[in-house]
Amino acid sequence: MSLGLGFDLLLAASLLWSGWRALSTPRLDRALVLFIAFGLLMTLTWARLAAPDIALAEAAIGAGLTGALLLDAFGALQAKRAEAEAKK
């Protein structure tokens, strides 16, 4: 088994694991972190598939912007919820 294949298999397993956990882990903040990790793993995958353009775009847009959007939404919702609790 070559080094490349071993790395690919590891990457494949991590992709599936992080994707699965992002959907199934009970805490939402962890899920979002796992999702961003998934995006970074996708970036590595694109590099392994000889697609540097997609790797760049995935890092910037897929993991970066989407991650930022999700985290920002999460933060806003948390703040909103805390506000609502405080009112009670």
Partner 1 sequence: MTSGLLFACVGALLFVMGVSGVLLIRHLLRRILAFNLMGSGAFLVLVGLAQRHGVADPVPQAMVLTGIVVAVAATALALALVRRLHALTGKLEPPEADDD
Partner 2 sequence: MKRPVVIPAALLFAVVLILAMVDLAPPALDLRPLVAANLASSGVAHPVTAVLLNYRAYDTLLEIGVLLLALVAILAVSESVPTTSSTSATSSDLLLPMLGRIAAPVMVVVAVYLLSAGTSAPGGAFQAGAVLAAAAVLLHLTGLLPGWRQPGVSLRWGLAGGFLLFVGVGAILLLVEGDLLRYPPDHAGVLIFLIESGLTLSLGLILAGLFLFLSHDKGDVG
Token pair for 30: 């962890």
Minimum gap (Å) between residue 75 Cβ and partner 1:
11
CA 70 to chain centre: 10
Question: Where along the sequence are the contacts to partner 1 (CB under 8 A)?
Answer: 4-5, 8-9, 12, 15-16, 19-20, 22-23, 28, 31-32, 35, 38, 42, 45-46, 48-51, 53-54, 57-58, 61-62, 65-66, 69-70, 73-74, 76-77, 80, 84
DSSP 6: H
Question: What does the DSSP assignment read for 31-42?
Answer: HHHHHHHHHHHH
**Minimum CB distance to partner 1 smaller for 23 or for 86:** 23
